[in-house]
Structure 1
């Protein structure tokens, strides 16, 4: 059954990507996050004190915290893989070839949909920063992801200028409407840490999604996945 092929391909692609993504997060993102938490807790103070070292001693490896991060990354990217491979299956049934090579573009599209498009107006945030109501932000985030997903599909498979125009409107509309913003700006974390966190979160997210696309394209075409569809 085709569903079995989707599940098998997504499971292998998601777990493989999740482990790589977790490693990238532990190396590049978590140190910045732990640094920000020192300011959130008050252990470090940015304003109104003597200059603070930009390289403080951070907490070391924590088996529970880091183990849960690895498990969570594997689960999240398996969920992403299910959506991605499901769409790949639909595209293949409509005559489009799926390969590891074009899987890179599928992955990049996923990054744009889930990270870049919403992140333009709601950037990744370090702990302790001011923010608008969580419910309103979640509504805006989901709406933006759906809008961007439809736009990317139209850009990839649309066959007319009308489809491309609709895609452009879908990409811009959430940002024209505007994301929920806090009424005041507060926060103890230096802006340098906040900008570094956002940049690394985007970078790791893009790398992980491209890896996911390549893995999804590869596992979709493995003999094991094909046999699972036949069985």
Structure 2
């Protein structure tokens, strides 16, 4: 069982990581590079000398092979780690009598997306380079707490019964009621439209990656055990 778990999770993580990396290259990274132009001053959002704003348009990916290779490697490692955790949880639920199929794997992937990506992004959305933010340590603590309580809340919602299941609502809402650490005022370098577009693209790619991961974890597992 352990061998099949490891092999299935690794295969699923590699494939999902490649999918996420390709989507990032096409959608997210051009927007990220455009944000870096504003960070460096090569483009200006609010001009103060009477000059016009810089033209809109994302730069090409360029030939920074090392940076792009690190992006691929990061996605492979990250999604492989997520795959190991996700499949272990799926198998635990399977042993308790819950079906494990590629279709239910998609639901698990969506739950992972909500817990790890969407819920934290409500308070701490993905940021373009140069975006001012609160201190790192409080943000990391809030981020980790949000993931944990959201995951527990989703588990109660899916598998709990009666009043126990209702506890999922205040549990999931708790980090957002407390509030993520933020600065007292808003100021940034890049246009807000670009920042909003970056958040949308980042979450969309994450959704695709997690959905693929859940499906592939279940698919590789079922194929390994049917063989």
Please tell me the TM-score bracket, short chain as reference: over 0.9
Task: Tell me the CA shift for residue 226 of structure 1.
Answer: 6.2
- Note if contact 1:35-1:58 (Cα within 8 Å) is conserved in structure 2: no
Q: Could you list the runs of 5+ residues in structure 2 that have no partner in the other structure?
A: none
Partner of residue 180, structure 2: 179
Task: Tell me the CA shift for residue 28 of structure 1.
Answer: 0.4
Task: Tell me the CA shift for residue 59 of structure 1.
Answer: 4.6
Partner of residue 31, structure 1: 30
Work out the CA distance in 2 between the residues paired with 1:55 and 1:91: 47
Partner of residue 168, structure 1: 169
* Matches for 1:56-205 after TM superposition, within 5 Å: 57-160=59-162, 162-205=163-206
Cα root mean square deviation, aligned: 1.3
Partner of residue 13, structure 1: 12
- Note if contact 1:99-1:221 (Cα within 8 Å) is conserved in structure 2: yes
Task: Tell me the CA shift for residue 92 of structure 1.
Answer: 0.8
Work out the CA distance in 1 between the residues paired with 2:80 and 2:137: 25
User: Under a length normalisation based on structure 1, what TM-score does the superposition of the two structures give?
Assistant: 0.93
Work out the CA distance in 2 between the residues paired with 1:206 and 1:163: 28
Partner of residue 41, structure 1: 40
Partner of residue 219, structure 1: 220
Q: Secondary structure at the match of 2:123?
A: coil
Work out the CA distance in 1 between the residues paired with 2:39 and 2:175: 31
- Note if contact 2:159-2:165 (Cα within 8 Å) is conserved in structure 1: no
- Note if contact 1:113-1:148 (Cα within 8 Å) is conserved in structure 2: yes
Q: Secondary structure at the match of 2:131?
A: coil
Work out the CA distance in 2 between the residues paired with 1:125 and 1:53: 21
State the number of aligned residues.
Answer: 224
Of 41-50 and 143-152, more deviation after overlay is shown by 41-50
- CA shift in 2, pair 1:43/1:150, >3 Å: same
What stretches of structure 1 move > 6 A for 4+ residues in a row?
none
